[in-house]
Amino acid sequence: MAFEGLADRLQGTIKKITGKGKVTEADVKEMTREVRLALLEADVNFKVVKDLIKRIKERAVGQEVMDSLTPGQQVIKVVKEELTELMGGEQSKIEVNNKPPTVIMMVGLQGAGKTTTTGKLANHLRKQHNRKPLLVAADVYRPAAIDQLQTLGKQLDLPVFSKGTEANPVDIANEAIKQAKEDHQDYVIIDTAGRLHVDENLMGELQQIKSDVNPSEILLVVDSMTGQDAVNVAESFDEQLDISGVVLTKLDGDTRGGAALSIRAVTGKPIKFAGMGEKLDQLEAFHPDRMASRILGMGDVFSLIEKAEAEVDEEKAKEMQNKMKSMSFTFEDFLEQMDQVKNMGPIDELMNMMPGSGKMKGMKNMQVDDKQLSHVEAIIQSMTKKERVEPSVINASRKKRIAQGSGTSVAQVNRLLKQFEEMKKMMKQMTNQKKGKKGGMNFPFM
């Protein structure tokens, strides 16, 4: 996913300075130089980098760091805090209207992900906040855009308001709000048209919708793959519409991502959500501190746990967490959790969120894809109860028997056994971090 390169680059620097018992100005200078290069390489706007580095330097050579017992760690803490500030500090939530419905306008260039995000956001509001949203098809220039929204509505089983391509977007928006009031919908999410470039006519139309419906939110949807251009686009949309927030899409892609991060600094408008894939549940609330952790390669344990909590049966989740803590998690439990794990989405996506998984080459090689899950299931099913609970008893002849029974190979059985051990190790790290104890990662401030 995005920022992987940045995280990889920063690892060496972080390690070097974290371990230091004494940090000199020269150390700080070297570290900030590395951080500066890494950020520039990740396509963060150069002015943004300059300001950031200046603040990091000031604080890193300050008393707060130099007088502490763990100056190396304090320096990294400063970097993390400044990165968090750069991305907006606190999480910024959707502004809710006192009197429903809350009207949200989605704006942005063509292909940025407005229509998809309209569906994702509706799904998010319903799932996380138990709200009733109405989707509004106000992109009247392309019939396909209306069909697309209607398809999303069907998939999500949510109502879509449309008047075809003949009606005027302003009328559509007004009528949709009226309808939402009658139907007691809590949210109205308006999917507007986009153009390939910032365009006066379109801006005029969006301004008119804005002044007519007075939305609580105007969310600018930005494709994080578009590089520095994203910053310019954000500036013009903000100038003309005074946007209330930003949704960064396609952060799952192989983008350097830095440009997108500059948007908050340049426009002063908060990033509210991040799109992490094409699927309708792949929208995450944007947490600047968690993103900073991800960027610094510390993983994003909290999003992972949140995701687990949203998908996994709560009782079971507690049980699982207790087992993780006591390290008594077995193949037996693994099998039981399999369906719930499947519900959480692609394994490699989950892996990306785990601390250190970006830099642990072993983890990258795991490549557990969803198809492989059925092999895994078969292998575990071929184990005896004892083997599931105490895998250390699985010797060569048992491996052969298990492979035969599951229609796999001994190599596959070996791989699973190894992966399971890795997984248990990671679980241990995660639960230690959550308790705030010094875990394997050694970042006590997380």
Ligand X SMILES: Nc1nc2c(ncn2[C@@H]2O[C@H](COP(=O)(O)OP(=O)(O)O)[C@@H](O)[C@H]2O)c(=O)[nH]1
Nearer to ligand X by Cβ, of 195 and 424: the residue is 195
Q: Does 253 bind ligand X (CB under 6 A)?
A: yes
Distance of CA 33 to the CA centre of its chain: 28
Give which of ligand X, Mg ion, none residue 275 binds (C-beta under 5 to 8 Å, depending on kind): ligand X
Contacting residue, 92, 115, 303, 382, with Mg ion by CB under 5 A:
115
Give which of ligand X, Mg ion, none residue 110 binds (C-beta under 5 to 8 Å, depending on kind): ligand X
Q: 222 near 168, Cβ under 8 Å?
A: no
Q: 241 near 216, Cβ under 8 Å?
A: no
Give dist(CA 134, CA 184) in Å, integer. 10
Q: What angle do CA 317, 319, 324 make, to 5 degrees?
A: 90
Give dist(CA 202, CA 168) in Å, integer. 13
* Residue 1 C-beta: closest distance to ligand X, Å: 10
Give dist(CA 46, CA 49) in Å, integer. 5
Give which of Mg ion, ligand X, none residue 116 binds (C-beta under 5 to 8 Å, depending on kind): ligand X
Query: In the chain, how long is the greatest CA-to-CA distance?
Result: 75
Residues 106 to 135 in contact with ligand X, rule: CB under 6 A: 108, 110-116
- Residue number with the smallest Cβ distance to ligand X: 275
Residues 38 to 57 in contact with ligand X, rule: CB under 6 A: none
Q: 83 near 295, Cβ under 8 Å?
A: yes
Half-sphere exposure of 433 (CA within 13 A, CB side): 23
Give which of ligand X, Mg ion, none residue 245 binds (C-beta under 5 to 8 Å, depending on kind): none
- Number of residues binding to ligand X, judged by CB under 6 A: 18
- Label the pairing between strands 245-249 and 160-161: unpaired
**Nearest one of 174, 168, 153, 266 to 220, comparing CA atoms:** 266
Nearer to ligand X by Cβ, of 23 and 189: the residue is 189
Give which of ligand X, Mg ion, none residue 380 binds (C-beta under 5 to 8 Å, depending on kind): none
* Residue 368 C-beta: closest distance to Mg ion, Å: 34
Q: Does 145 bind Mg ion (CB under 5 A)?
A: yes
Give which of ligand X, Mg ion, none residue 162 binds (C-beta under 5 to 8 Å, depending on kind): none
Q: Does 249 bind ligand X (CB under 6 A)?
A: yes
Nearer to ligand X by Cβ, of 205 and 252: the residue is 252
Contacting residue, 8, 41, 229, 278, with ligand X by CB under 6 A:
278
145 by Cβ neighbours in 10 Å (0-12 / 13-18 / 19+) ranks as buried
* Residue 283 C-beta: closest distance to ligand X, Å: 7
Give which of ligand X, Mg ion, none residue 101 binds (C-beta under 5 to 8 Å, depending on kind): none
What are the CB-based long-range contacts (under 8 Å, 24+) for 93-97?
93/272, 93/285, 94/125, 94/216, 94/217, 94/272, 95/216, 95/217, 95/244, 96/216, 97/216
* Residue 6 C-beta: closest distance to ligand X, Å: 19
Contacting residue, 72, 277, 288, 439, with ligand X by CB under 6 A:
277
Tokens coding 263 = 């948007």
Q: Which stretch binds ligand X (CB under 6 A): 270-278, 316-324, 404-412, 437-445?
A: 270-278
Q: Does 275 bind ligand X (CB under 6 A)?
A: yes
* Residue 155 C-beta: closest distance to ligand X, Å: 13
Distance of CA 38 to the CA centre of its chain: 21
Single-letter residue type at 121: L
Q: Does 352 bind ligand X (CB under 6 A)?
A: no
**What b/e sequence results for 189-226 when a residue is b if at least 16 CB atoms lie within 10 Å of its CB, and e otherwise?**
bbbbbbeeeeeeebbebbeebbeebebbbbbbbbbbbb
Q: Which stretch binds Mg ion (CB under 5 A): 83-91, 111-119, 200-208, 321-329?
A: 111-119
Give which of Mg ion, ligand X, none residue 108 binds (C-beta under 5 to 8 Å, depending on kind): ligand X
Q: 34 near 42, Cβ under 8 Å?
A: no
Nearer to ligand X by Cβ, of 49 and 276: the residue is 276
Residues 209 to 228 in contact with ligand X, rule: CB under 6 A: 221
Q: Which stretch binds ligand X (CB under 6 A): 71-79, 275-283, 308-316, 403-411?
A: 275-283
Distance spanning both ends of the chain, measured CA to CA: 21
Residues in touch with Mg ion (CB under 5 A): 114-115, 145
Residues in touch with ligand X (CB under 6 A): 108, 110-116, 194, 221, 249-250, 252-253, 275-278
